[in-house]
Amino acid sequence: MSDYRKYLRNQTLPGMSEMETDMMKGLPIPAIEKPFPEDAALIDLPSHEECRATSRMSLADAIANRQSRRLFSDEMLELRELAFLLWATQGVRGFIRNGLVTLRNVPSGGGMHPFETYVSAHRVDGLAPGLYRYLAIEHKLLPLFGERLDLPRRLTAAANGQPYVGKGAAVFVWAVRPYRTEYRYGDDSLKDILISVGHICQNLYLACEAAGLGTCATVAYEQDQLDRLLGVDGYDEIPLYLAPVGRVTSDAPQP
């Protein structure tokens, strides 16, 4: 086995004495959000307040009921439900440092929030099947590519053939833009990024339970296929975690 355990160790924190990050050099902070065309036809989502009203369960019950769910029905997801899940996982609730840093519903090391959320919508009321990106600041969806891409089949193929992935009414894929974290933490960004994306997916689990939906964290996937599917370069932007969501057909444990 390789010496991978070294990556579990902090490299230079807390002193960061041997490292001069771009932030320390006074370079400009990277953009909070990946840019998108000014004339893009964005899709409005139900408001944050409407999203909150989607929860039908106490936090304690959502925690107690949470499990990985891989058996999805063919039913549609309401747009309000999808918006609730997006809000729960990346929703922006404010800005600090002259609008250069966001405060969100999940924590992120240094508040850098280096993730972009892609949604492959297969059965969502009011959304044409296709790939979208969630614009957390605007709380809107940016349409990317349409149905012709056969997304459910390609997602399952990219997820090492795991059939439940393509069967979701929608599939969340989180991609990291590493420079946002590197700007602040340099070589210590790896743990920071991986731990932060775990918080996002945990909120997805709990929000799904609260809305009568289900999900399953998925890290078994083939990198190049997922890069191609999202249309990202796999270096400046790297998909690293995915999770199908849908209405579930069984409450039996599916570990």
Ligand X SMILES: Cc1cc2nc3c(=O)[nH]c(=O)nc-3n(C[C@H](O)[C@H](O)[C@H](O)COP(=O)(O)O)c2cc1C
Q: Is 197 in the site for ligand X (CB under 6 A)?
A: no
Q: Considering the rule CB under 6 A, would residue 255 count as an interface residue with ligand X? A: yes
Smallest gap, in angstroms, from Cβ of residue 131 to ligand X?
A: 20
Torsion angle of C-alpha atoms 97, 98, 104, 107, degrees rounded to 10: -20
Contact residue for ligand X among 217, 222, 234, 249 (CB under 6 A): 217
The interface with ligand X within residues 18-47 (CB under 6 A) comprises: none
Check residue 171 for interaction with ligand X (CB under 6 A). no
Closest CB to ligand X among residues 63, 217 = 217
Asked if residue 162 binds ligand X (CB under 6 A), the reply is yes
Burial 210-245 (b: 16+ CB within 10 A, else e): bbebbbbebeebeeebbbebbebeeeebbbbbbbbb
Bond prior to 14 in cis (omega within 30° of 0): yes
**The token pair that represents 8 in the structure block:** 């579990």
118 CA to centre of own chain: 7
Decide: is 89 part of the binding site for ligand X (CB under 6 A). no
**Degrees to nearest 5, angle at CA 240 with 84 and 228:** 100
Among the residue ranges 9-17, 53-61, 217-225, 229-237, the one whose residues contact ligand X (CB under 6 A): 217-225
Binders of ligand X in range 46-85 (CB under 6 A): 67-68
Q: Which residues bind ligand X (CB under 6 A)?
A: 67-68, 162, 216-220, 255
